[in-house]
A and B are shown apart, each in its own frame.
Chain A
Amino acid sequence: MNSLKAAAAFGLSALVVSSAAAQTASKPVGYETVAINQQFNTFGLRLLGAPNVTSTVGAVAGTTVTLDAAPSADGSYIVEVNDNALAGAVVTGTSTGADVVLSEDLSAGLAVGDSITLRATQTLASVFGTESTLTGAASEGAADLVSVPDGSGGFSTYWYFSGSFGGAGKGWRESGQVAGTIDPALVTLVYTDGMVVTNRGADNSLVITGSVKTAPTTLGLTTQFNYVSSVYPAGSTLDNSGLQSQLTAAASEGAADLVSLPDGAGGFSTYWHFSGGFGGAGAGWRESGQVAGTIDAALVDLTSGMIVTNRGDAQNADIVAPSFYADL
């Protein structure tokens, strides 16, 4: 467990150094190396696109939000709500001047004067390369796969076509596609999502660079299995994530929401919050199968990708940065 603490400390150090070096950035920046081992890898983006502009809402009409300050360029952005009723909400949006058309209608909760940040999008191209850093192949069955939640309980899956004879026509394809390629720069990867990379080759790794978010983030959870990101790249634990107050706790594992973290060996370590015995005694986090006592949740580091099993109706769950991020 000491090694985990040491790793977290190193990550923090790297972030601070990077932050100092990036004088023009409004947020700290850093990098993270993600292991892409053989078979299935659940991971999330924790180093994000750079903020372009933070502004206040001047007007809201349906999915269109007019900001008091326009971003530096028209285009697609990750849109973050920073305060008030929808604080933590993350959606995508397309800007034209100061007008931003959101992917979801937030008008019921978004108000004039609310703070919004537009952040550069990350895409299949920016994360995995226009020419993939993963294993490509002439057939989908032999290529690594990148599966991204599609927002309706399923996944959109992509793979890199290495080209036909002579290497002609190479590029990214969607699962099932047998001709042509897609533009990977148009496939937005939202940092709240967890992704699954199916590695059909040897163990690999992926270096992700970007900006560190320090504000809370809302994870939208559908019923049952949700592949989500832990958002914050260093020091985030089961204890300080804030998930305890957001997920459903119960007296039995069968009724509680679950947090499953890849164990690095192809399986998962699963945790749930015990609401306590009669009178509420003994409440705390437990590991799957544990029927007495609790664990020290501060010792459980969140992996970049997680599976949250939501046993109830669809809900939002806020995840927060470790308190020391306020000093970054």
Chain B
Amino acid sequence: MKNTLLLVASFGLLVSQGFGYNTVTTNIATADATAVPILDNTGAAIAVGAGYVAVGTFSAAPSATTAVADIRSTFTAFGAGATAFSNGVGAPGFFDQKFGASIPQGNADAPVGEQAYVLIGDGATLAASLHFAILSTGGVFGTEDQFGNGELGQVFSAENIDSSLIYGTPMADVDTGLGLVFTNGVKLGEGGLVIPEPSTALLSLVGLGFLARRRR
């Protein structure tokens, strides 16, 4: 009986020692002009403690014209972590966020293998945000190693912002009042224009034609 209890205790105690699976993302690797400030739709840098930053997956790959409603409905945020803008230099427009959860080695369930996106909004939550930016370096979610460590980093700078910006307006020569001009910035967008279905457009034309005929 003693041996049995010891075995049970052993297996019961063997939880992961590691850091879990973390996604880390920042737009200020270096405090110089290569950092990429995030601006709201008015062009003002999003204040520390405001805004929304999350890392997660989309059920349908987003594009530059994805509608706001689709952004909200197809995004799944990963892990636990603070979503308001926070950074180590205390400057507006910059985030340095970490989101963690457990993805044990061998797990193949979502989001494992899916592309990770950084979703940025101007509200305190996803639902409260009206304007967005979507960034991705193309990295995909993996799993922890045998000791419970896993990480996916997404660092955005002037070097990679052009290839990473999926949604939002790219800006150049951005001055946020910090005494230097940033090479690049990103302004949150309102989403793509809603393109009417062909049948809807056709019906409109038919309706207009009908009205025109009656006037005659």
Contacts and interface: CB of A to CB of B under 8 A. Distances in A.
A268 B17 CA distance: 9
Interface stretch (B65-73, B89-97, B131-139, B189-197): B89-97
B147 A278 contact: no
B64 interface: no
Contact of A254 (B7, B11, B26, B146): B26
Nearest to A253: B96
Interface stretch (A5-13, A182-190, A269-277): A269-277
Interface in B109-151: 145-147, 149, 151
Contact of B88 (A225, A251, A309): A251
Interface string A237-271: 00000000000001111110000100000101000
B202 interface: no
21 contacts: A39-B15, A39-B17, A147-B147, A155-B147, A198-B14, A251-B29, A251-B35, A251-B88, A252-B28, A252-B87, A252-B94, A253-B96, A254-B25, A254-B153, A255-B30, A277-B88, A278-B31, A278-B89, A279-B179, A286-B88, A291-B86
B87 A291 contact: yes
Contact of A225 (B14, B86, B145): B145
A309 B149 CA distance: 10
A27 interface: no
A253 B155 CA distance: 11
A171 to B, nearest CB: 21
A25 interface: no
Interface in B152-200: 153, 155, 178-180
B101 interface: no
B1 interface: no
Interface in B11-68: 11, 13-15, 17, 19, 24-26, 28-32, 35
Contacts, number: 107
A278 B180 contact: yes
B147 A224 contact: no
B146 A155 contact: yes
Nearest to A262: B17
Chain B residues touching A, majority SS: loop
Contacts of A39: 13-15, 17
Interface residues of B, number: 38
Contacts of A154: 145-146
A130 B14 CA distance: 26
A311 B25 CA distance: 12
Q: Which of A147, A255, A275, A279 has the most C-beta atoms of chain B within 10 angstroms of its own C-beta?
A: A255
A323 to B, nearest CB: 30
A255 B6 contact: no
B24 A254 contact: yes
B17 to A, nearest CB: 3
B10 A253 contact: no
A141 B24 CA distance: 34
A266 B17 contact: yes
Contacts of B149: 224-225, 307
Interface string A116-147: 00000000000000000000000001100001
Nearest to B30: A251
Interface in A269-300: 274-280, 286, 290-292
Given A251-B88, A255-B155, A291-B87, A40 B94 contact: no
B13 A275 contact: no
Given A142-B7, A277-B90, A291-B87, A253 B146 contact: no
Contact of A141 (B10, B35, B90, B155): B10
Contacts of A286: 88
B96 A252 contact: yes
Contacts of A40: 17, 147
Contacts of B153: 254-255, 311
Which 5 interchain pairs have the tightest Cβ spacing? A40-B17, A252-B96, A255-B29, A254-B26, A254-B24
Contacts of A196: 17, 147
B89 A200 contact: no
B178 A252 contact: no
Q: Which of B26, B31, B87, B145 has the most C-beta atoms of chain A within 10 angstroms of its own C-beta?
A: B31
A309 B151 contact: yes
Interface string A181-222: 000000000000000101010000000000000000000000
Contacts of A292: 88, 90
B29 A250 contact: yes
A275 B17 CA distance: 29
